[in-house]
Amino acid sequence: MVREFLDSEHDRFNRADFIESDPISIPHRYTHKEDREISGFLTATISWGQRQGILKNAMRMMELMDDQPHAFLLDSSKVDWQRFSRYVHRTFNGSDSMLFIDCLSVLYRKKGGLHQIFSKSFQAANGDMGLAISKFRSEFFGDKLPGRTGKHFSDPNRNSAAKRLCMYLRWMVRLDNRGVDFGLWSDIPTSSLMCPLDVHSGRVARGLGILQRSQNDWKAVEELSKNLRMFDPIDPCKYDFALFGGGVSERHS
């Protein structure tokens, strides 16, 4: 019964007409791998709050990068980054965005980009996704001290659910014939992905009996993802569409 519901809701929401109103629409504006990686990462970073606000402010970020995120990271200077000084999305402000741009610039100029550092982190973590994300975070900030900006890059090592990072990894890794996720990082197995968890998806998961833990933390992510692998061991994160969809239906009922 639970699997039938999950499969049905997955089919309902994992389709191209889902894209327009979702944050994934921002990286879908681009065709080059690096532009999709960068725009997706920055969009995922600010993906909390009202979706219209997320889309508006993600677009503003892209405009500040001359709508060429990869080229901007390679060719811009700290003087150019000042254009972000007045940027704000909820608690993500100008200083946060400039540090993220600085870190991304270093990654793409010197370290091969987001894909390469995540792949190295995943290998170093022996496939442990929580540890891989923690290593990814450390590599992202490098020798910089993130201070308050660090809260915008969640760390499973501190038992954070890391919802936005899990969502971003779904975008980059999953590939099917639905046209939503990108499948750009094919060296990362879909079986290792962890399901994004927030208040709404957690409530739906508990209602279905596939999550018992009351806190929405990394331990809950591990429990939920383990249970979803019983329904699809190869691609458990596809059920993010079902849990998200259930949350949407619940919020509008």
- Residue 249: pLDDT band with limits 50, 70, 90: very low
Confidence at residue 245, expressed as pLDDT on a 0 to 100 scale: 82
89: β partners: 92
Give per-residue pLDDT as tens, 81-123: 999 999 999 999 999 999 999 999 999 999 999 999 999 999 9
Q: Please work out, in degrees rounded to the nearest 5, the angle formed at the alpha carbon of residue 37 by the alpha carbons of 159 and 39.
A: 95
Indicate the average pLDDT of the chain.
95
Instruction: List, as one string, the DSSP characters of 116-178.
Output: HHHHHHHHHTTT-HHHHHHHHHHHHHTTS--GGGGGGS--GGGT---HHHHHHHHHHH---SS
What is the value of pTM for the model shown?
Answer: 0.95
Q: What is the token pair recorded at 219?
A: 């331990």
Q: What is the amino acid identity at position 3?
A: R
Number of domains in the chain: 1
Q: Which amino acid belongs to residue 127?
A: G
Instruction: Please tell me the distance from the alpha carbon of residue 94 to that of residue 92, in angstroms, as a whole number.
Output: 7
What is the residue range of 69's domain?
2-251
What are the pLDDT digits (tens) for 43-58?
A: 999 999 999 999 999 9
Give the tokens for residue 169: 């990894």
| Residues in Cβ contact with 72 at an 8 Å cutoff, skipping those fewer than 6 apart | 65, 66, 80
